[in-house]
Chain A
């Protein structure tokens, strides 16, 4: 059984690495018939695959469309596996993120990729779309009790909105409630991140993912120490 289990987990990972939806769904069916723990199939099978794809993308070995394909395969297979997990046993998402492109800006290639990759990595992402006023980010974050608010801007003249969002959060005393991340192709770096009052920034999705995980872990650590 255990050798078979390892073989199925490997198949799941490989299907994601090869962007092969049919193979992924076949491996999912195998996992279900072999009564594998679906959560383990996700975390040790599919996730291992997406991690490898992410690393390859980070090293410039595969183009963006394949990263998207892998994320799509991952999402489909995950959703199928989750059907076999009882409601109370469904794994908590790594984090809940509200993501969008700021007002005045209609670039969404980047946020779509962030959505796909973060979702594949176990986040619950609410992508509110493009041209979104500051207000909508906050409203959605409050509504879904988000951990992270992510704002993307691609143009010098829409960058300001990232700062306005930071200020609006502060004004409403919500700044500490959320992790605030900024990104997108126009990003001028560290200094601007500070000026926006954001926790961190990234102009690459894999770096964004690492940073988001780190910030979440730090926050959880903080909460624990506070509880003590």
Chain B
């Protein structure tokens, strides 16, 4: 597609083209409407104010009746209160403000709060999600929306580090926190700080972990079947038969293998070349993924999309390198 549809300097008109492109990919306006697509409208500046970028995004969402996920928060401790309660209150107020604006101009459109109680690392000024402020705040926000309003919540997680191993660690930790605090709609943002394609298998690994955790959550409820009372009685105290018991065999898929994690013993790992997860195994997986050929879009769709991009670039005089 002749260069990126550049959004360097956006105007509200740009979103007309975003809408048109999305409709082409989805197979038409009507098909697109059936899909659960959400705009994420960020606002971390002043929680009750918008700038021209996110206000365009919000207005475009109204024009096309897109559901939105507002992420409104302050970046503590440089641009917001250092205490998580204070930032949660401000962030909460901000989301209510954005929700009210949206409902006023676009009544009935879905709004799911994108809970984030943001914090920076004061040593560097860059995003720092490893601090308690962030974790406590986002958990509290989830609780507020769940228990006060009975509404679902969304939440994004980020990489917030430069090195791959640290990014992987951050993503995994994030996801666990999000799941445990009951986030209904989770998405992880990969890259940003420093993007390496090896992040793709890392994200795949982490996404699989999240998906299997979510889909097997029910196993922890103390229902008779989950407690395996009858089977325990049958197998007895020695526990020899668990391995081949039908009860377990039927449930082995709840123990998914890692996508590229190495769970060998230390000696075996050394013998096999002591390869690291993020640097060696993920790069290797990447080679496999590179072979994957996505189903191409029909030729006429690609042609129409190129035409939309061209029209947009000409009309908006966007400079594409």
Residue numbers of A with Cβ under 8 A of B are 60, 63-65, 103-104, 106, 109-110, 113, 131, 157-158, 160-161, 163-164, 185
How many chain B residues touch A (Cβ–Cβ < 8 Å)?
19
A224 to chain B, nearest CB (A): 38
**Cross-chain contact of A109 among B9, B79, B321 (Cβ < 8 A):** B79
CB 8 Å contact bits of B258-297 with A (1 = contact, 0 = none): 0000000000000000000000000000000000000000
A64 to B45, CA, bound (A): 19
A131 to B45, CA, bound (A): 14
| A161 and B125 within 8 A (CB) | no
Task: Determine chain B's interface SS by DSSP, over half rule.
Answer: loop
| A160 and B124 within 8 A (CB) | no
| B321 and A64 within 8 A (CB) | no
**Cross-chain contact of B45 among A63, A106, A157 (Cβ < 8 A):** A106
**Cross-chain contact of B122 among A65, A106, A157, A164 (Cβ < 8 A):** A65
Could you say which residues of chain B place their CB within 8 Å of the CB of A157? 6-8
| A60 and B123 within 8 A (CB) | yes
Known: A109-B125, A157-B8. 7 other contacts (CB 8 A): A60-B123, A64-B78, A64-B122, A65-B122, A104-B9, A106-B45, A113-B125
* Closest A-B pairs by Cβ, 5 of them: A63-B122, A104-B9, A64-B125, A63-B123, A104-B8
CB 8 Å contact bits of B98-135 with A (1 = contact, 0 = none): 00000000000000000000000011111000000000
Could you say which residues of chain B place their CB within 8 Å of the CB of A113? 125
| B78 and A106 within 8 A (CB) | no
**A-B interface contact total, Cβ < 8 Å:** 38
Residue numbers of B with Cβ under 8 A of A are 6-10, 45, 51-53, 77-79, 122-126, 319, 321
| B78 and A160 within 8 A (CB) | no
Interface centre among B8, B9, B52, B79 (most CB of A within 10 A): B8
| B122 and A104 within 8 A (CB) | no
A63 to B6, CA, bound (A): 36
A64 to B6, CA, bound (A): 33
| B8 and A65 within 8 A (CB) | no
Could you say which residues of chain B place their CB within 8 Å of the CB of A60? 123
Considering only CB atoms, which chain A residue lies closest to B82 in the complex?
A: A65
**Cross-chain contact of A164 among B10, B45, B51, B319 (Cβ < 8 A):** B319
**Cross-chain contact of B321 among A65, A103, A160, A185 (Cβ < 8 A):** A160
**Cross-chain contact of B123 among A64, A109, A158, A161 (Cβ < 8 A):** A64
| B8 and A109 within 8 A (CB) | no
Considering only CB atoms, which chain A residue lies closest to B6 in the complex?
A: A157
Could you say which residues of chain B place their CB within 8 Å of the CB of A164? 319
A120 to B193, CA, bound (A): 29
| B123 and A160 within 8 A (CB) | no
Known: A106-B45, A161-B8. A64 touches B53 (CB 8 A): no
| B123 and A106 within 8 A (CB) | no
A209 to B274, CA, bound (A): 43
Interface centre among A63, A103, A163 (most CB of B within 10 A): A63
B155 to chain A, nearest CB (A): 22
Could you say which residues of chain A place their CB within 8 Å of the CB of B7? 157
